[in-house]
Amino acid sequence: MKDNYVYQILKQFFINSYPLEIEEKVQRWIIKDEWIDEKNRAMSAIWDDMEITPDDNTYKALESVKNTIKLLEYKKRRLRTTRILLSSAAVIIPVLLLLGSYFYINRNVEQIEVATSYNQQKQCTLPDGTVILLNSCTKMTYPSQFKDTIRVVTLEGEAYFSVARDTTKPFIVKTSDLSVRVLGTKFNLSAYPTNDRTIATLNSGKILVHVQSGKVDGRYILKTNQEIVYNKIDESVLINTATSKATDWKDGALIFQDATFNDIVSAIERRYGVTIDYNKQELPNIPYTIKFINNESLEEVLNILQDVVGGFEYKQEKSRITFIKKEGESMDKNGN
């Protein structure tokens, strides 16, 4: 239990970072004389997971890390810090190298945020030549320069990635539920916070997907034309054969394959810039496959959805739509 607690603290510090006001407290905690063995084991595990080779910039950054630590009551803690670093050099130094490379170097690099609104797509090219097409209501953050030995971007929403190949710098996309690690390939990643599912679809090459959410903590390797589906509701993970549907949104299509009612509604909201209200307790608990490929209007989409699902009517007031259950009927045409 203690090992896991220490691991989570250090992993957050080294890989995801804390707010600035907390970073200093964690730095002090790292160099304290308590839980040394647990810290060593945790930092060794983090180092092994990252699989990063330090470069010249890494060693320069190490000096910044040491100086930062020394500023923390330097005279009082000098001997203690030296003793800890020497006794745990095999583990501490590599992790400090990681910290220096990933955390302190990138702190000085400008973070760029690209976002799209309703029914909008946007293409951007990263410093390494990677080309990304963002779907509607998507936000992505990336550094103005990839100075580290890994290339990391964060995504909230959906995007199609054509990653520039660089065997010395793995490319990692982080979302709230999973991360995708590649060297150079093409894949689609749908990770909307409001959706029931997060889906990574591989077009070419190979990717490593780390699902870490709720009770799930697993790594999966996808090959060409495979997709991984993480269901947030039941915390299940499925690997399926992919179809072209995953990227049809680039051509303006709305295609749902075994999608939940909630995911369909969320996509309609993003496409047409509306808010849809309905009683989630009456939500049909079955998957739906529906295709909208002819640039249908909002009214046409709602009428088709009403026909496929059944059991509800709707009313619209400007940009707000309300689904109303028909008396004596279920919002599931099949009666489930």
Looking at 107, 136, 154, the residue that finishes a domain is 107
Report if residue 335 sits inside a domain.
Answer: no
Judgement on whether residues 66 and 119 belong to the same structural domain of the protein = no
Long-range contacts of 178-183 (CB under 8 A, 24+ apart): 178/209, 178/210, 178/211, 178/212, 178/213, 178/228, 178/230, 179/209, 179/210, 179/212, 180/207, 180/208, 180/209, 180/210, 181/207, 181/208, 181/209, 181/210, 182/206, 182/207, 182/208
Looking at 75, 107, 139, the residue that finishes a domain is 107
In this prediction, residue 75 has a pLDDT band, given cuts at 50, 70 and 90, of very low
- CATH assignment of the domain containing 197: 2.60.120.1440
Please, what is the average pLDDT of the chain?
79
pLDDT tens digit sequence for 186-218: 999 999 999 999 999 999 889 999 998 888 889
- Report the candidate in 216, 286, 306, 201 with the shortest Cα–Cα distance to residue 249: 201
Report if residue 336 sits inside a domain.
Answer: no
Q: What's the rounded mean pLDDT across residues 31-41?
A: 71
Judgement on whether residues 286 and 240 belong to the same structural domain of the protein = no
The pLDDT of residue 136 is above 50: yes
Domain of 206?
A: 111-245
pLDDT of residue 76: 46
The pLDDT of residue 122 is above 90: yes
CB 241 within 8 Å of CB 226: yes
Report if residue 148 sits inside a domain.
Answer: yes
Judgement on whether residues 120 and 77 belong to the same structural domain of the protein = no
Other beta carbons less than 10 A from residue 285's beta carbon: 9
Report if residue 262 sits inside a domain.
Answer: yes
Of the listed ranges 7-21, 130-144, 163-177, the least confidently predicted one is 7-21
CB 18 within 8 Å of CB 12: yes
pLDDT of residue 44: 67
Separation between Cα atoms, residue 306 and residue 304, nearest integer Å: 5
Report if residue 331 sits inside a domain.
Answer: no
The pLDDT of residue 84 is above 50: no
- Specify the pairing of strand 275-277 against strand 320-325: parallel
Judgement on whether residues 93 and 76 belong to the same structural domain of the protein = yes
pLDDT of residue 17: 53
In this prediction, residue 47 has a pLDDT band, given cuts at 50, 70 and 90, of low
Judgement on whether residues 102 and 82 belong to the same structural domain of the protein = yes
pLDDT of residue 89: 43
Looking at 245, 264, 299, the residue that finishes a domain is 245
Q: What's the rounded mean pLDDT across residues 113-124?
A: 95
Look at the pTM and tell me if it is higher than 0.85.
no
Q: Give Cα separations from 275 to 3, 31, 64 (angstroms).
A: 45, 50, 49
Q: Which residue has the higher pLDDT, 245 or 80?
A: 245
Angle at 8 between CA 92 and CA 103, to 5 degrees: 55
Report if residue 124 sits inside a domain.
Answer: yes
Q: Which amino acid is at 273?
A: G
Report if residue 333 sits inside a domain.
Answer: no
- CATH assignment of the domain containing 293: 3.55.50.30
Judgement on whether residues 229 and 275 belong to the same structural domain of the protein = no
Q: What's the rounded mean pLDDT across residues 309-317?
A: 86
Judgement on whether residues 240 and 282 belong to the same structural domain of the protein = no
Report if residue 334 sits inside a domain.
Answer: no
Judgement on whether residues 131 and 234 belong to the same structural domain of the protein = yes
Count up the domains in the chain and report the number. Answer: 3
Q: What's the rounded mean pLDDT across residues 321-327?
A: 85
Judgement on whether residues 226 and 295 belong to the same structural domain of the protein = no
The pLDDT of residue 85 is above 70: no
Q: Which residue has the higher pLDDT, 263 or 83?
A: 263
pLDDT tens digit sequence for 138-161: 999 999 988 778 899 999 999 999
CB 142 within 8 Å of CB 159: no
pLDDT tens digit sequence for 224-264: 999 999 999 999 999 998 866 788 899 889 989 889 999 99
pLDDT of residue 88: 44
Q: Which residue has the higher pLDDT, 50 or 230?
A: 230
Judgement on whether residues 154 and 48 belong to the same structural domain of the protein = no
Of the listed ranges 41-55, 212-226, 229-243, 261-275, the least confidently predicted one is 41-55
Q: Which residue has the higher pLDDT, 275 or 54?
A: 275
Of the listed ranges 97-111, 117-131, 139-153, the least confidently predicted one is 97-111
Judgement on whether residues 164 and 99 belong to the same structural domain of the protein = no
Judgement on whether residues 230 and 139 belong to the same structural domain of the protein = yes
